[in-house]
Structure 1
Amino acid sequence: MTDKTSECLECWNDGPAKSAIVDFVERVTREGSADYVAPDERIAVFDNDGTLWCEYPMQVQVFFALAQVRRLAEQDPALLEKPAFKAMLDGDLKTLASLPKKEVFEPAFATHAGMTVDEFRQTAAQWLDEARHPSLDYLFVQGAYLPQCELLTYLRVHGFKTYIVTGGGVEFVRAVAQELYDIPPEQVIGSSTRMKVETVDGHPVLRKLPELGSFDDREEKVVNIALHIGRRPIFAFGNSDGDLAMLRYTLAGAGPRMAWYLHHDDADREFAYDRDFKLSALIEGLDNAAEYGIGIVSMKNDWKQVFAD
């Protein structure tokens, strides 16, 4: 292999992870290579929360829901009987962190209810323009990981089509994916609520309902990749056990394949967590990464820089 690692991925430290990624991309894109993959098959999938941007101490959409849930509770007081709704209304992050991920995201998805898709995206975009991380001194949208943005660009330059496959609400992530990652809305797959078409002032509009359609986590990520992409990825990146099925599905296909976990082990520049973060725990994947063929990217050791200045 010709060592070109110094010519790309400048926010990554030289080392095994960076070299492996560059080597893989060179092999699958070099015509005549035994590992050559046609451009149509160069599909790369990335989780979002904790993989492309900061998710700690709560996913960004949970903070968005905190700002919206009071309105819902006023409309339907019975929602307060649900632990996640009550915890959000009380601003009780400790209780939220102790609940199953699906329960915590239910209020986040419910904040869509009654809005048209366009209204929701506008509401989310306006909130993201001003909302700040509770402990790091930046806007949530400034929490995108610079090395990952660089990796997305690097893959696209080499003919890959990049997708986000996230447990977060699909419309919420679509509100920022183009701006943050240069990924268009049609290449974002996420959790969704049911919707219906209504006629308003003689025009059809798409309105979101307070019913969960798909919670895009664990095995459901694989199902939705098949439904919305129709091809098995050859490159995948996640950060939790919620991504494990997607990573193993990627590796299970024929031909050259690559899958990575981002390990949050940098308490100085971001946060250090894995097993103890119930909302996005990394336990099985961490224990079995080598057996499953999944690489580990250390935020502390493999990245020169975490966030943009």
Structure 2
Amino acid sequence: MKATLAAICLLSPSLALGSDDPLPSWNDGPAKTAVLNFVETTTTEGSTDFVRPSERIAVFDNDGTLWAEQPMYFQLLFALDRVKAQADDHPEWKTTEPFKSALAGDMKGLLATGKEGLAKVLAVSHAGMTADEFAGSVRRWLRTAKHPTTGKPYYRMVYQPMLELLAHLRSNGYKTFIVSGGGVDFMRVFAERVYGVPPEQVIGSSIAAKYELRDGVPTIVKLPEGLFVDDKEGKPANIYGRIGRRPVFAAGNSDGDKQMLQYTTIPRGVDDTTARFGLLVHHTDAEREWAYDRKSHIGQFDKALDDAPQRGWVVVDMAEDWNRVFAD
């Protein structure tokens, strides 16, 4: 897997020799122009919008923003595989929700159990394991599992235009973070190799953990409790607690990212004149990816879509603004 993931990283525009365009997978238009202008003006000394290097913080959602999220979040698909693998040791699951629906492949029934039910499925996928054991299980899954619709490995379902954007920001002194509702331990396994985002710059949902010595070896053990969901209001709180600086650039794709964009872009009074940027990916391309927004059961994009014009957030139309979708 290392060689394959490294090859994906080489698709980054920072290594596209001979090209003066840092965003070649973006079509010329208002969205691309806005991104390029923001980066240029905030990194050019003497510009009225110049942002000091120490304050160049950019935050990105993951699911639906950096890689696909249909027909459901990829970590949930991983957790379902883990539930099936453990089913023989838990006969009670056959009659107990949410596991009954998970084992039957009844996604409608599983989603009907709500966040509490989904949290139980996710917790089972790593509770009681050491951090290293869980990371190993994710690596093995990424090596073998295939997307149910495209048949591609999940790590090939990343968006080339967003890889280019991440690379362009970093090449101009920005520090890029992932702030996602996905599990932090899950994303840290692949984020650096695929996105160029190191594990210490990955923020996500988490469960409790404890430290213990096992046969004299320092070990972190995951616990089936203390779930913190890094979504909606949780995202600004986690940015404050983990980063300690307010971002100047935020990118998402759904209502779950609205509060993160608000926290990033809304001025803190008349003296707050720092240039700020909000970006939302709109999934409009049913031919190359999926088309969904307001009524989607995954990645619902409704209130944030309505707020975008008045907030000045740039909405990226996938069908119109990207000449290429996946980094494959």
Fold shared by both chains (TM-score > 0.5): yes
Indicate which of 151, 163, 179 corresponds to 1:149.
163
Matched, 1:9 2:23: yes
Partner Cα distance (1:166, 1:219) in 2: 12
Q: Which residue of 2 aligns with 1:109?
A: 123
What's the CA shift for 1:308?
2.3
In 2, are the aligned partners of 1:101 and 1:280 still within 8 Å (CA)? no
Superposition pairs of residues 288-303 of structure 1, within 5 angstroms: 288-303=307-322
Q: For residue 256 of structure 1, what is the amino acid of its counterpart?
A: A
Q: Which residue of 2 aligns with 1:270?
A: 289
Alignment TM-score, normalising by the size of structure 2: 0.88
Q: For residue 285 of structure 1, what is the amino acid of its counterpart?
A: A
In 1, are the aligned partners of 2:69 and 2:298 still within 8 Å (CA)? no
Superposition pairs of residues 1-309 of structure 1, within 5 angstroms: 7-76=21-90, 83-101=97-115, 103-253=117-267, 254=272, 255-309=274-328
Cα deviation 1:15-51 (Å, max 9, x = unaligned) = 0000000000011000111111011100000000000
Partner Cα distance (2:115, 2:171) in 1: 35
Partner SS state of residue 33, structure 1: coil
Partner Cα distance (1:15, 1:102) in 2: 42
In 2, are the aligned partners of 1:264 and 1:298 still within 8 Å (CA)? yes
Alignment TM-score, normalising by the size of structure 1: 0.94
Q: Where does structure 2 lack aligned partners over 5 or more consecutive residues?
A: 1-18
Cα deviation 1:70-105 (Å, max 9, x = unaligned) = 345554555566633222111112333455356424
What's the CA shift for 1:292?
2.4
What's the CA shift for 1:179?
1.2
What's the CA shift for 1:286?
1.1
Partner SS state of residue 179, structure 2: strand
Q: For residue 310 of structure 2, what is the amino acid of its counterpart?
A: E
Aligned length: 305
Q: 1:279 to 1:273 in 2, by over 3 A?
A: same
Q: Where does structure 1 lack aligned partners over 5 or more consecutive residues?
A: none
In 2, are the aligned partners of 1:27 and 1:36 still within 8 Å (CA)? yes
Partner Cα distance (2:187, 2:306) in 1: 30
Q: CA RMSD in A?
A: 1.8
Partner Cα distance (1:221, 1:110) in 2: 24
What's the CA shift for 1:213?
3.0
What's the CA shift for 1:107?
1.0
Q: 1:262 to 1:232 in 2, by over 3 A?
A: same
Q: For residue 169 of structure 1, what is the amino acid of its counterpart?
A: G
User: Identical aligned pairs, as a percentage?
Assistant: 48
Partner Cα distance (2:284, 2:54) in 1: 35
What's the CA shift for 1:211?
1.1
Q: For residue 210 of structure 1, what is the amino acid of its counterpart?
A: P
Partner Cα distance (1:175, 1:203) in 2: 21
Partner Cα distance (1:103, 1:295) in 2: 34
Give the strand-richer structure, 1 or 2.
1
What's the CA shift for 1:204?
1.9
Q: For residue 285 of structure 2, what is the amino acid of its counterpart?
A: D
